[in-house]
Chains A and B, each alone.
Chain A
Amino acid sequence: MKGTNDLILKTTTTIIVFIILGFSIYLFFAGHNAPGGGFIGGLMTAGALVLLYISYGFKTMKRVIRIDFKNFIPIGLLIAVLTGIGSFVFGQPFLSHTDAYFELPILGHSHLATAMLFDLGVYFTVVGVTMTIILSIAADEGEEELSKVSES
Chain B
Amino acid sequence: MTSLLSTVSTICIVIIAISTLFLLYRAIKGPSNPDRAVALDTIGINLMAIAGILAIKLETAYFNDIILLIGILAFIGTVAIAKFLEKGVIIERSRD
Residue interface mask B68-93, A partner, CB < 8 A = 1: 11001101100110010011001111
Cβ of A35 and Cβ of B72 under 8 Å apart? no
Among A23, A53, A135, point to the contact of B72 (Cβ < 8 A): A23
Q: How far is the CA of A47 from the CA of B65 in the complex (A)?
A: 16
| Residue from B73, B80, B95 with most neighbouring chain A CB atoms (10 Å) | B95
The count of A-to-B residue pairs whose CB atoms sit within 8 angstroms is 55
> Residues of B contacting A1 with CB < 8 Å?
87
The SS class assigned to the B binding surface is: helix
| Across-interface contacts of B90 in A (CB, < 8 A) | 54, 138
B15 — which chain A residues lie within 8 A by C-beta?
none
Residue in chain A with minimal CB distance to B88: A1
Q: Which residue in chain B gives the minimum CB-CB distance to A13?
A: B79
User: Which one of A57-65, A67-75, A77-85 is at the interface?
Assistant: A57-65
Contact status A58-B93, CB under 8 Å: yes
Q: Which residues of A contact B76 (CB under 8 A)?
A: 47, 50-51, 54
Contact of B94 among A36, A54, A57 (CB under 8 A): A57
* B66 adjacent to chain A (CB < 8 Å): yes
Give every chain B residue within 8 A of A151 (Cβ-Cβ).
Answer: none
Smallest Cβ-Cβ distance to A55: which chain B residue = B79
* A122 at interface, CB cutoff 8 A: no
Q: Which 10 A-B pairs have the closest CB atoms?
A: A59-B94, A138-B91, A57-B92, A57-B95, A58-B93, A53-B91, A35-B62, A57-B94, A35-B65, A51-B76
13 A-B pairs besides A9-B79, A51-B76, A144-B93 with CB distance below 8 A are: A4-B87, A23-B68, A34-B62, A35-B62, A40-B69, A44-B72, A55-B79, A56-B95, A57-B92, A58-B94, A59-B95, A134-B91, A138-B91
Where the two chains meet, the residues of B that have a C-beta atom closer than 8 Å to any C-beta of A are: 62, 65-66, 68-69, 72-73, 75-76, 79-80, 83, 86-87, 90-95
